[in-house]
Chain A
């Protein structure tokens, strides 16, 4: 299957700082990438849909000014958690869909574990 990478895999930061998480499709092009958040022992909740070259679409209840998403190319989307606070600590997972294959499955990155002190 296709490979999606995330960087960093783990980050610890102080409250008030901003953290950027990268999501890359390594061997395919993705017009659409998705960002999910997972609290411990909970399910994945979709935060936003990232579309290359346009603004992201956020799910209800997700603050777009808090979670900045940029999808600058067909292989890279970034999520920036601005002014992070302890309640933002979570496991963030991205996924990407292959541009060529319609209705294909999404390929998930390995996730980024964010801890805000």
Chain B
């Protein structure tokens, strides 16, 4: 069975600080995909990144960066120089690479950026 753990339920940081959101996953599949989504107060899920299990290169997109460590089954997300607009709930998710590819979500981390 697949499982995604986001141990941090809530995080608050002052604007401009860096913040890292942790994600640890469990799967028996050798091929799988990892995702991060942002859910602002409006409720809509915003796709941030998808990474397949064979690509362990870290990725940077503007102020966002992701650290995929297969050895520790982690896919952490860092926001650099945080802004108030980053305040949201962030979900890490895992999908199998075959079949219908349904997503297993973590419990989410509520991030609050304090102005």
A residues lining the B interface (CB < 8 Å): 1, 32, 34, 41-46, 49, 51, 57, 91, 93, 95, 97, 103, 105-111, 113
By size class, the interface of chain B is 20 to 34
Cβ of B55 < 8 Å from any Cβ of A? Answer: no
Query: Given A106-B101, A106-B103, A111-B44, 14 more contacts at CB 8 Å?
Result: A1-B47, A32-B100, A41-B110, A43-B105, A44-B103, A44-B105, A46-B102, A49-B100, A93-B43, A95-B103, A103-B52, A103-B97, A105-B47, A108-B45
Find out whether the CB atom of B103 lies under 8 angstroms from the CB atom of A34: yes
* Known pairs A1-B47, A43-B107, A110-B44; A103 contacts B91 (CB<8 A): no
Binding site for A on B (CB under 8 A): 33, 35, 37, 42-45, 47, 50, 52, 91, 97, 100-108, 110
Closest Cβ of chain B to A42, distance in Å, is: 7
> What are 21 A-to-B residue pairs whose CB atoms are below 8 Å?
A32-B100, A34-B103, A43-B108, A44-B45, A44-B103, A44-B105, A45-B105, A46-B102, A46-B104, A49-B102, A51-B100, A57-B100, A103-B97, A105-B47, A105-B50, A107-B47, A108-B37, A108-B44, A108-B45, A111-B43, A113-B43
